Amino acid sequence: MNQTSKPSQPINTHAPVMLVTGGAKRIGAAIVRAAHEQGYRIIIHCHRSEQEAHALADALNNARPDSAVVIIADLAVVNQSDALHDFTQNIMQAFGQLDVLTHNASRFYPSPLGHITHAQWDELFLTNAKAPLLLSQALSPYLRTQRGCIISLLDIHAHNKPFKDYAVYNMAKAAHRMMVQSLALDMAPAVRVNGVAPGVNILPEPHSDQALDPQQQKSIIDSIPMQRIGKPAEIAHSVLYLAQASYVTGEIITVDGGRSLTLAGGPV
């Protein structure tokens, strides 16, 4: 575990604690900032984005001391019981409690039929299904103690409207969606479990393996009734609502500018 803090205001040791996986950048960082603004203490998990995670934690700790920590780990820790135990202990040592577990970390890239590999299957199912389930299980005793909740970032394509050429990703996100609904039953009444399904709320980085070409981007925007790409802050708003909605469980909020009303599968 890596921790960064700089004193500037009194420390609130009674504030709720939220863990955000993949919390260093993009939608994850937006959730982190929004939760921190509402008084949460934050655990920022990252794997490769260490520099961004520490910069974000520094900014939060400058605003409110001892309110943010960084934990660096490959989510493949869930594949080994000892490693998962150590990861869980690092999380709990940060602030001594956990109120909200937000599953945001995800890999996203195409897997065209005829070129699907075991490595793609393992990576996409790890981040989008296996790690969320096993991490939820490992942290469930601590969430039960706090009467806390789990919030999963899903996808509008996880239910009946798959991306073309993204079979493995579609399957993994569909599994994650079912995890939300299953755990909502299994963990009630002590722990609530909900999801947020974005549409296009942020575009992939232009030089990544997830990049979309300009024609794909234009096609997407044209298909959105709101006629714009969503904002990460709009996802964060729904996450914070679910964190506080004490009588809501097993629900998945769609935040897509109406795109799912017009979407019929096919190209992204």
pLDDT tens profile 139-166: 999 999 999 999 999 999 888 889 889 9
DSSP states along 126-174: IIIIIHHHHHHHHHHHHHHHHT-EEEEE--GGGSS-PPTT-HHHHHHHH
| Within-domain flag for 267 | no
| Within-domain flag for 196 | yes
Domain residue limits at 51: 13-258
- Helical packing angle, 131-146 and 167-186, nearest 10°: 20
| Within-domain flag for 123 | yes
Q: Compute the residue count for the chain.
A: 268
pLDDT score recorded for residue 14? 87
Q: Please tell me which of 123-132, 193-202, 211-220 the model is most confident about, judged by mean pLDDT.
A: 123-132
Give whole-number Cα distances, 241 to 172, 186, 208, in Å: 25, 22, 31
| Within-domain flag for 7 | no
| Within-domain flag for 89 | yes
What does the pLDDT look like over 83-125, one tens digit per residue? 999 999 999 999 999 999 999 999 999 999 999 999 999 999 9
| Within-domain flag for 224 | yes
Question: Would you say residue 1 has pLDDT above 50?
Answer: no
| Within-domain flag for 175 | yes
CATH code of 127's domain: 3.40.50.720
Q: What average pLDDT does this structure show over 36-61? A: 98
Catalytic positions, written as ranges: 169
Return the percentage of the chain with pLDDT > 90, whole number. Answer: 77
Q: What average pLDDT does this structure show over 157-182? A: 94
Sort 126 into a burial class: Cβ within 10 Å, 0-12 / 13-18 / 19+: buried
d(CA 208, CA 210): 5
| Within-domain flag for 114 | yes
pLDDT score recorded for residue 117? 98
Q: What is the DSSP letter of 203?
A: P
Contacts of 109 (CB under 8 A, 6+ apart): 120, 124, 166, 169, 209, 210
Name the domain count of the chain: 1
Going by their DSSP bridges, the two strands 68-72 and 100-103 should be labelled as unpaired
Give whole-number Cα distances, 108 to 41, 177, 236, 245, in Å: 28, 16, 20, 29
